[in-house]
Chains A and B, each alone.
Chain A
Amino acid sequence: AQSVTQPDIHITVSEGASLELRCNYSYGATPYLFWYVQSPGQGLQLLLKYFSGDTLVQGIKGFEAEFKRSQSSFNLRKPSVHWSDAAEYFCAVGGSNDYKLSFGAGTTVTVRA
């Protein structure tokens, strides 16, 4: 069965500092990996996704993520965070025969001035 682990429940980062959110997955076949962001009162918004090919993927809002098969990881990064990046971030896994997504429990990001 597939699963996603996000080890960090809550991260606080200063505005302008770099951010890295960890994601580890378990999936029996080639995974399709996604990062979503959820702001209060808003629906989940896709930041980026990975299916195959180049293991470093770029997304919206200046985010990027790196797929590492050997570590079963898909960590999300941003070089310089803005106050508007304060939100909850979810990593999710699917697959070529799997239209439904399995989500991690999320990481809440707080940005301090």
Chain B
Amino acid sequence: GAGVSQTPSNKVTEKGKYVELRCDPISGHTALYWYRQSLGQGPEFLIYFQGTGAADDSGLPNDRFFAVRPEGSVSTLKIQRTERGDSAVYLCASTTLGGPKETQYFGPGTRLLVL
């Protein structure tokens, strides 16, 4: 079956611009996660959705970052006034229900480069 998909695969933008990154989870998965992976590092948690609501957004670095999941499936990560330090690979994962024992299925990521 189809896995987690993310678009675009690559995004180049200029400092100060606004970007949106999209995640399509596995069909039927109610839990969705966003992580950020900087060069040479492991993924770092950003936000977790259970259905349409953000159950935990404690990993968002500041108020320039925002994410939505209005219909409980597709999610969009939004970054305002991008900075060069936002350059990273943004990963999305989904699980069936969000339980801690469940396997998180990851998408291939969106590589964001802020010039």
Contact = CB atoms under 8 A, between A and B. Distances in A.
Interface of A: 4, 32, 36, 41-46, 49, 51, 90, 92, 94-106
Contacts of A41: 108
B31 interface: yes
B98 interface: yes
Given A102-B45, A105-B40, A94 B100 contact: yes
B42 interface: yes
Chain A residues touching B, majority SS: strand
Interface in B24-80: 31, 33, 35, 40-45, 48, 55-56, 59
Given A43-B4, A43-B109, A44-B91, A103 B43 contact: yes
16 contacts: A41-B108, A42-B108, A43-B3, A43-B107, A43-B109, A44-B43, A45-B106, A95-B100, A96-B100, A99-B100, A100-B45, A100-B59, A101-B45, A102-B45, A105-B40, A105-B42
A43 B42 contact: no
Nearest to B92: A43
Interface residues of B, number: 28
B85 interface: no
A97 B98 CA distance: 11
A102 B43 CA distance: 8
Contacts of B41: 105-106
